[in-house]
Amino acid sequence: MLSLLLIIIASLFFTGIIIRTKSILSGRKGPGIFQPLKDIWRLFKKGAVYSNTSSFVFQIAPSIYFASILMAILMIPLGGHQGIISFKGDFIFFAYVLALGKFFMIVSALDTGSSFSGMGASREALYSLLAEPAFFILMSSFALLTGYTSFHEIFSTLHFGTYISYAIGALAAFVLVIIALIENSRMPIDDPKTHLELTMVHEVMILDNSGFDLGLILYGTNLKFAMYGGLIANFFLTPSYEWYFSIPIFIGVQLLFAVIVGILESFMARFRMNHNPQYIFMLTSISLLIFLGVLLVLGKIA
Amino acid sequence: MSIIICIIIVTILSTLLLTLVKESKKAYVALFAVIINVILSSFIAIPALIGSSFEQSFYGGTVFVNIPLRVDPLSAWFILLMDITVLTGILYGSQYMKAYKNQSSNLTMHFASYILNHFAMISIYIVQNSFALLCVWELMAITSFLLIIFEHHKIDTLKAGINYLIQSHISIMFMTMGFIWVNSFTGSFDFNAITTYTSTVSPAVSFLLFLCFFVAFAIKAGFVPFHTWLPYAHPTAPAHVSGVMSGVIIKLGIYGILRILLLIKGDYMAMGYFILVISVITGIYGVILAIVQHNIKKLLAYHSIENIGIIGIGIGLGCIGLGLNNFYLSFAGFGGAMLHTLNHSLFKSLLFYCAGTIYQATHTLNIERLGGLIKKMPQTTILFLIAALAICGLPPFNGFISEFLIYSGLFKGVLSGQISSTIFFITAILGLVIIGGLAMLCFTKAFGIIFLGNERHHLPENIKEAKPLMLFPKYIIVLFILLIGVLPQFVVFLVSKPALLFTGKNSILTQPIEYIQTFQFVGIGAITLILLSLMILWIKKLVTKPAIVSVSPTWGCGYKTESPKLQYTANSFVRPFRKLISPILQMNKKENKIEGVFPKQIHSETHPYDKLEAVLIDTPLMYLKGFLGKFKFLQNGKAQFYILYGMIFIFLIITLPVLVGAIFYVIELIKQI
């Protein structure tokens, strides 16, 4: 319950902090932290325009997408506190639930019949399938390291001892940050600010969404960011900490994560579209590196 | 009178009855016969699944003498899952075949084959004598060949059918070899002879025997590289036959592998690694080829190969579990494999039935020509969507349940055991994840292009939703899909019976209970997901009530002249992926160059082709043809020569014993010297 609340609170600030960081770094005054939230609130109250090509799939997809993210958040633990739903192998459920949301978003983009949306859908489908193996290998490495197969058990028994394990932790955090960036279609993969539809990935998929649906999608992105932030924070929360320690650590990690995303977006350019698959697949090799590290730590290989 | 004799009598009588009734009634005779056989076989299977195994001896005349009939939970599980699909198949097929009601003899043949095929499958699951098994297996192979070539006036259909017939006989040949091998050492045709034989020989020999059987059953199941018949046979058969073939007939191969594993004693580790590696390759290769297909039934056929791969991963995991003496693994592996067999038979048959409905409405199976069917066939769309989500293994549907069981076994396997098995398991996890992701790409393409957007090509005007009787069997399947998805603990409990056959008595009941608890949570998760979705939809309805909703054309980014031709096509949707994996693919492209200042209309086409088929089947076949061509002179069309060949043959046959005797005599002589 605690993690759900904290993640929702973090999601309220997340995009705001990213935008604030970017504006500070580029020397602009920039909007306030709550501006993205105000935009979403405005969208919630607005009416909608539906294309005459689209069908009910287009109308239910954003809601299912949002529900899938909420469902995934329900499974995130917080240090010693387990998520609302927690069982052996819950991270498999986590990944597949997110995939369900993505399935609906891709299909709804094809539902508009627009060539641009189709293009975005094609790219999103490809990138998300390439990013998936990294997450699974990462989780199986930690399952191997701790001997458990659920988020709660893994994170509550995880502790870093040797130097290699610190390296593993750092690499894991790196992989998760990149996965979060890919899943949310952020900078090195996709530029949310671009104005050219041909170079968009996620933005072009939701060109036809408006009103409440668009609000849901935008807020869904915030939630997803905070969710991955929460996941990363769990690496640094050990169950021995009391809540008055773990909550500040959680908030600190989320803040750091948002600032890092802001910095990355300020100083990096988007990759060429045909280099993206290689870049994303690189993640899998990094997570294989983590796996090797875990084998080293456990002494399975000399 | 025993149930078996009842089944035989029903089969024979209904087949005879088929020839007597009018065209329009033939389907009902078949339906009736199938229902009775389903009920009768369930009478055997349900008690066997719950606990009391069925055992009987059937007098098979002087040739077979006594055929042992046994139904253990493994057979029972497969009989029940087969019954579901065969039943929905005939329910759907009796409506589907109305389009062909003027082909009387053809229909009789078709429905008779359907009944006999069902009977043959029941027998395969029951018979425990290798000689009798070969006979019923042959019956199954021939009847399914007849089912495939229903539209035999088309040359492609006949080609696909003969391809299937040849390959299934290669499979039978390997099986015969295996059985003769065992028989020559033990003198018995009973299956238990395999156990007694393999427990006396070295593990290497039993592995070879296992390989022999594995190849036989892998051809049936469609493991890569023995899959090449499958993508031809499935698309050409009528939709309900494709559904039944993909759903249950190829699963006979899976049953065979499981049965052999249950019987054979040997090095389970080696077998497990072998199955695991070949299954990961099968899964990934199948789905990669599925993605580039444009023919929807061919796409689904390649997806069957992919799912066989997933099932195989489960079997491999189970085998390694046996080798490691880790019953947790073997339970998850075998249980997951069997559960996925059930799940695949459900959603794949549903997908094929939907494809059949689309074909009858639009007269095309080419994805690129379809589009916008959601507005004309809303129910078929929803059914296809559910099946697509299920086949991608997404919660809250049934595909997720079996994949989850296999995943959790694999993760458990990563934790326990030596480094070598850990590496294999991590590869399998990687393979399963990639398969899942690719399946999603494939089905977003299939669903999105077929049903959504606008018509991409001029389709017939009168496309209508299928008739309720045609939709009814599909809704039955959807019910099963949803039930397994939200109440997985019950079905995992059911599958634990056959799975425990493998893990043996010493694992008692503790392992399944642990899994069942986990699956209770999975079920809760699935229900929560559904409730959350409904809640958000409800909130949306409440919030947007006062808002104004308007309808306008799709935003074309400033481009005003919208046209269906501007839509993304299936080919362009998968193009980035196709470029990425181009080394694995073989795309046969026919393209004319654009020439001149005012180019004329040109035509280009692309046909994806199976590279493995080109390497493993086509090339050797070419050489074989070249070699056999040298003997063409023998076939000169003159009757005199043929009589001469006959004479020579008879002469050789008669003189052979004499010749052999002479040779032995000479050898004896030499020895004496």
Q: Which of A71, A82, A203 to mutate to test binding with chain B, by most B CBs within 10 Å of its CB?
A: A71
- Per domain, the residue ranges of chain A are 2-298
Mean pLDDT of B2-16: 90
Give the residue from chain B lying closest to A141, CA to CA.
B414
Pairing of the two strands B549-552 and B66-71: unpaired
What pLDDT, on a 0 to 100 scale, did the predictor assign at position B488?
Answer: 92
What pLDDT, on a 0 to 100 scale, did the predictor assign at position B508?
Answer: 55
Q: Which of A53, A118, A140 lies nearest to residue B411, judging by beta carbons?
A: A140
The proportion of chain B whose per-residue pLDDT surpasses 70, expressed as a percent, equals 99
Residues of A with Cβ-Cβ distance to B407 under 8 angstroms = 89, 92
Mean pLDDT of B510-517: 73
pLDDT class for B455, splitting at 50, 70, 90? confident
Q: Which amino acid is it at A153? A: E
CA A115 to chain centre: 27
Q: Which of B385, B441, B528 lies nearest to residue A71, judging by beta carbons?
A: B528
Question: Is the pLDDT assigned to residue B51 strictly greater than 80?
Answer: no
What pLDDT, on a 0 to 100 scale, did the predictor assign at position B382?
Answer: 95
Cβ of residue A54 closer than 8 Å to a chain B Cβ: yes
Give how far A25 is from chain B: nearest CA, Å.
32
Q: Which of B430, B438, B533 lies nearest to residue A137, judging by beta carbons?
A: B430
Give how far A110 is from chain B: nearest CA, Å.
6
What pLDDT, on a 0 to 100 scale, did the predictor assign at position B511?
Answer: 57
Give how far A284 is from chain B: nearest CA, Å.
9
* pLDDT per position as a tens digit, B357-385: 999 999 999 998 888 899 999 999 999 99
Q: Which of B383, B400, B433 to mutate to test binding with chain A, by most A CBs within 10 Å of its CB?
A: B433
For A196-204, the CB contacts below 8 A with 24+ separation are A197/A116, A197/B557, A198/A116, A198/A119, A199/A270, A199/A273, A200/A116, A200/A120, A201/A120, A201/A123, A201/A124, A201/A127, A202/A120, A202/A124, A203/A120, A204/A116, A204/A117, A204/A119, A204/A120
Contact B433 A92 (CB under 8 A): no
CA B580 to chain centre: 28
Question: Is the pLDDT assigned to residue B507 strictly greater than 80?
Answer: no
Contact B415 A149 (CB under 8 A): yes
Contact A107 B452 (CB under 8 A): yes
Per the structure block, which two tokens stand in for A57? 């799939």
What pLDDT, on a 0 to 100 scale, did the predictor assign at position A83?
Answer: 84
Q: Does ipTM come in above 0.90?
A: yes
Q: Which of B452, B524, B537 lies nearest to residue A110, judging by beta carbons?
A: B452
Residues of chain A with pLDDT under 70: 160-162, 238-241, 302
Distance between CA atoms of residues B70 and B89, nearest Å: 26
Contact B440 A103 (CB under 8 A): yes
Treating both helix axes as pointing N-terminal to C-terminal, what angle do B378-391 and A90-111 enclose, rounded to 10 degrees? 150
Distance between CA atoms of residues A23 and A45, nearest Å: 28
Question: Is the pLDDT assigned to residue B505 strictly greater than 70?
Answer: no
What pLDDT, on a 0 to 100 scale, did the predictor assign at position A300?
Answer: 74
The candidate with the shortest Cα–Cα distance to A139, out of A128, A124, A152, is A152
Distance between CA atoms of residues B552 and B328, nearest Å: 57
Distance between CA atoms of residues B16 and B30, nearest Å: 11
Distances (CA, A) of A236 to A18, A142, A248, B413, B425: 22, 14, 11, 27, 28
Q: Mean of the per-residue pLDDT values for chain B?
A: 90
What pLDDT, on a 0 to 100 scale, did the predictor assign at position B213?
Answer: 94
Question: Is the pLDDT assigned to residue B147 strictly greater than 80?
Answer: yes
Helix (H, G, I), strand (E, B) or coil at B308: helix
Mean pLDDT of B385-407: 93
In the DSSP assignment, the letter for residue A77 is -
Reported as type and span, the H/E element at residue B348 is helix B327-362
Of B64-73, B108-117, B382-391, which gets the smallest average pLDDT?
B64-73
What pLDDT, on a 0 to 100 scale, did the predictor assign at position B509?
Answer: 55
Q: Which of residues 244-283 of A touch B (CB under 8 A)?
A: 274, 277
Question: Is the pLDDT assigned to residue B421 strictly greater than 70?
Answer: yes
Bridge partners for B200 per DSSP: none
Residues of A with Cβ-Cβ distance to B393 under 8 angstroms = 96
* pLDDT per position as a tens digit, B598-651: 888 888 888 888 888 899 889 999 999 999 999 888 888 889 999 999 999 999
Contact A284, A134 (CB under 8 A): yes
Question: Is the pLDDT assigned to residue B417 strictly greater than 80?
Answer: no
Return the exposure string of B633-655: e unless at least 16 CB atoms fall within 10 Å of the residue's CB, then b: eeeeeeeeeeeeeeeeeeeeeee
Q: Residue B195, Cβ neighbours under 10 Å: how many?
A: 16
Q: Which of residues 139-178 of A touch B (CB under 8 A)?
A: 140, 143-144, 147, 149
Per the structure block, which two tokens stand in for B82? 């087969």
Number of Cβ pairs < 8 A linking chain A and chain B: 255
Contact B422 A144 (CB under 8 A): yes
Of A153-157, A254-258, B284-288, B667-671, which gets the smallest average pLDDT?
A153-157
What pLDDT, on a 0 to 100 scale, did the predictor assign at position B552?
Answer: 87
Give the residue from chain B lying closest to A208, CA to CA.
B555
Pairing of the two strands A48-51 and B549-552: parallel
* pLDDT per position as a tens digit, B82-123: 999 999 999 999 999 988 888 888 899 999 999 999 999 999
Q: Residue A78, Cβ neighbours under 10 Å: how many?
A: 26
Distance between CA atoms of residues B287 and B302, nearest Å: 6
DSSP for B413-469?
HHHSS-HHHHHHHHHHHHHHHHHHHHHHHHHHHHHHHHHSSS-SS---TT--PPPHH
> Any residues with CB less than 8 A from the CB of B579 and at least 6 apart, and which?
A274
Contact B74, B259 (CB under 8 A): yes
What pLDDT, on a 0 to 100 scale, did the predictor assign at position A263?
Answer: 92
Distance between CA atoms of residues A286 and B86, nearest Å: 48
Q: How many residues does chain B have?
A: 673
Mean pLDDT of B513-538: 91
Give how far B489 is from chain A: nearest CA, Å.
14
Contact A182, A127 (CB under 8 A): yes
Distance between CA atoms of residues B237 and B663, nearest Å: 54
Tell me which residue has tokens 């023995």.
B226
- Per domain, the residue ranges of chain B are 267-540+566-581, 632-672
Distances (CA, A) of B129 to A223, B80, B124: 61, 21, 10
Give how far A49 is from chain B: nearest CA, Å.
5
